[in-house]
Chain A
Amino acid sequence: MKKSNFAYLFIIVVFIVSPINAQDLLEKLDKEFPDVPNYVLATFKGNRITFGQSVETRKKGVLEINAHTKFWNIPNSNTQAFGADRVTARFGFDYAISDRFTTGFGVATFDGIFNGLAKYRLVRQKNSGKKAPIGITLFQSVSYQSRSFNHIDLPNTFARRLSFTTQVILARKFDSNFSFQLTPTFIRRNSNQFEDSPNNHFALGFGARYKVGRHVSIASEYYYVANPVEDNSVDDHLNFFNPFAIGVNWEVSDLILQFSLTNTRNFDEATNITKTFNNFNFNDGNLHIGVSAIYVFHLNKKRK
């Protein structure tokens, strides 16, 4: 009798154990998911962090219309201007030919610089499957200066008016809130205004984004220029500073608004990295307020 009791107990155990085996259907499902490449989304929200380029490109068939503006005051001015003495704007568009390749064009009002750009996403950060710890984007721009501004003279020949910027943008999204970017930069300036100054410049950019809300993030950017432009003229001596910006990005639906405080007033990479006239502080004339509006159109309606 005792032994048959044991047998019944065994039956009960079998009955109890078997449903437990079947319980983990969800775990079974998890094993079924194929290793699809899941590229990290939104390392930065726009093609620009603030004044400089970000690792991001647009998706295929996306046309981005952007208007960047900056406002600043002139030291000791007697103007009646409300809010700011000077304003500049860059109007441009970026178009994505493919998910990896974006081109763009724009022109700025204050410095009359036209610039064209091309961005190619070489590596996209991927945290699953075949992993890629960072994203790499190659950037090239050509800019043409069409008039004198500040103390920068208009060079005589077409070739002298051109500048070229090449960047290898390295970025990593560390977690859902924090992204960081390193941007080794090479700039070729054809202008011969500053005779003893080098025409080839090397710079290193630092950029970061911190998401503070679902739709709001703080972005900051700084470029260290290893060999800045040198002005050795005795009268009207110019100093050049490294550009810095801190700002807030707010994006909702197809619109992205960027607000920033910065010391640079140019939108072209070759100019704002090498030819920023003032330091970043709150002295009169140094602080620039930037407001950018970026609107995105989806021209490619045939997504899978």
Chain B
Amino acid sequence: MNKIITLIFILTHYIGFSQSQAQEEVIARLGQVSFFSYTSVENIEATNNQSHSIIDLSNGEIAVSILLRAFVFKKALMEEHFNESYVESDIYPKIQLHGNILDFDSNLQGVQTKIVKGTMSFHGVNRDIEIKTKIDNTEGSYILSGDFEVNIKDYEIKVPPLLARNIAKTIKVTFRFEYQSL
């Protein structure tokens, strides 16, 4: 008897899991990530409209992947310098983030503010970070948005002394991801 119950339990768990796995991951393929560097000398901004992110709704696990080459600057030469001399995108092509949305309730409708805790890998440096994000859930379509600041020294991005006044030491990053089912 005991054995049969266990077997049923396994089967239901297994079937239930494989079904739910297909539905419980949502993906964003056209996420917007922008960064801003404000100084008294120069304002620099760049936008990436092809950032990717995926969330596992069952456990709040989240992954983000951003191609550095897809950042578009107003000045073409600045874009080249950014890739060639600052983030070295031919060696480190992506920014990756992998972590968890803490206390995430995927069934809660409306807006909730949560912390994403995870590891960001950028320019060959892995760092633990916490990002506050607004989660807007309208009938199962999720939008994550927010902003945070990055200290460029933390990721070993070196600015030549001559340009120290042109490039901010902390870069403001804003993001917005709209998720749909996989």
Binding site for B on A (CB under 8 A): 3-4, 7-8, 10-11, 14, 18-19, 21-23, 25-26, 28-30, 32-34, 36, 38, 40-42, 58-62, 175-176, 214-215, 251-254, 296, 298, 300-301, 303-304
Nearest CB of chain B from residue A211's CB, rounded to whole Å: 8
Question: Are A41 and B70 in touch, CB under 8 angstroms?
Answer: no
Chain B contacts for A252, CB-based, 8 A? 160, 162-163
Expressed in whole angstroms, the Cα–Cα distance for A207 and B12 within the complex equals: 68
Question: Are B10 and A7 in touch, CB under 8 angstroms?
Answer: yes
Our pick among A14, A60, A296 for the contact of B10 (Cβ within 8 Å) is: A14
Chain A contacts for B21, CB-based, 8 A? 18, 21-22
Question: Are B65 and A253 in touch, CB under 8 angstroms?
Answer: no
| Closest 5 A/B residue pairs (Cβ) | A59-B76, A25-B63, A7-B6, A29-B65, A214-B85
Given contacts A25-B62, A175-B90, A214-B86, 7 further A-B contacts (CB under 8 A): A7-B3, A11-B13, A42-B83, A58-B76, A59-B76, A252-B163, A253-B81
Question: Are A301 and B74 in touch, CB under 8 angstroms?
Answer: yes
Chain A contacts for B58, CB-based, 8 A? 22
Question: Are B29 and A32 in touch, CB under 8 angstroms?
Answer: yes
Our pick among A11, A176, A298 for the contact of B76 (Cβ within 8 Å) is: A298
Expressed in whole angstroms, the Cα–Cα distance for A7 and B3 within the complex equals: 8
Number of chain B residues whose Cβ lies closer than 8 Å to a Cβ of chain A: 51
Chain B contacts for A32, CB-based, 8 A? 27, 29, 52
Question: Are A176 and B81 in touch, CB under 8 angstroms?
Answer: no
Expressed in whole angstroms, the Cα–Cα distance for A41 and B21 within the complex equals: 40
Question: Are A25 and B61 in touch, CB under 8 angstroms?
Answer: yes
Chain A contacts for B133, CB-based, 8 A? none
Q: Which residue of A lies closest to B86 (CB)?
A: A214
Chain B contacts for A34, CB-based, 8 A? 50
User: Is there a chain A Cβ closer than 8 Å to B59's Cβ?
Assistant: yes
Expressed in whole angstroms, the Cα–Cα distance for A298 and B75 within the complex equals: 6
Expressed in whole angstroms, the Cα–Cα distance for A10 and B7 within the complex equals: 10
Most buried by B among A30, A36, A214: A214
Question: Are B10 and A62 in touch, CB under 8 angstroms?
Answer: no
Our pick among B69, B75, B81, B98 for the contact of A251 (Cβ within 8 Å) is: B81
Interface flags for B1-18 (1: CB within 8 Å of A; 0: not) read 011001101100110010
Question: Are A10 and B10 in touch, CB under 8 angstroms?
Answer: yes
Question: Are B160 and A8 in touch, CB under 8 angstroms?
Answer: no
Our pick among A22, A175, A251 for the contact of B56 (Cβ within 8 Å) is: A22
Q: Given A29-B53, A59-B77, do A11 and B6 touch, yes or no (CB 8 Å)?
A: yes
Q: Which residue of B lies closest to A96 (CB)?
A: B76
Expressed in whole angstroms, the Cα–Cα distance for A23 and B83 within the complex equals: 30
Nearest CB of chain B from residue A125's CB, rounded to whole Å: 12
Q: Which residue of A lies closest to B51 (CB)?
A: A29
Expressed in whole angstroms, the Cα–Cα distance for A11 and B2 within the complex equals: 14
User: Is there a chain A Cβ closer than 8 Å to B101's Cβ?
Assistant: no
Expressed in whole angstroms, the Cα–Cα distance for A51 and B158 within the complex equals: 31
Nearest CB of chain B from residue A155's CB, rounded to whole Å: 40
- Identify 28 residue pairs between A and B in the complex whose beta-carbon atoms are under 8 Å apart, listed by A's number: A4-B2, A11-B9, A11-B13, A18-B17, A22-B25, A22-B58, A26-B63, A26-B96, A28-B25, A29-B52, A33-B67, A40-B90, A41-B83, A42-B84, A62-B76, A176-B88, A214-B88, A214-B160, A215-B85, A215-B160, A252-B163, A253-B78, A253-B166, A254-B75, A300-B76, A301-B74, A303-B74, A304-B72
Chain B contacts for A7, CB-based, 8 A? 3, 6-7, 10
Q: Which residue of B lies closest to A27 (CB)?
A: B63
User: Is there a chain A Cβ closer than 8 Å to B144's Cβ?
Assistant: no
Expressed in whole angstroms, the Cα–Cα distance for A25 and B27 within the complex equals: 10
Question: Are B10 and A42 in touch, CB under 8 angstroms?
Answer: no
Question: Are B14 and A14 in touch, CB under 8 angstroms?
Answer: yes
Our pick among A28, A33, A300 for the contact of B54 (Cβ within 8 Å) is: A28
Q: Which residue of A lies closest to B73 (CB)?
A: A303
Nearest CB of chain A from residue B181's CB, rounded to whole Å: 14
Expressed in whole angstroms, the Cα–Cα distance for A42 and B89 within the complex equals: 12
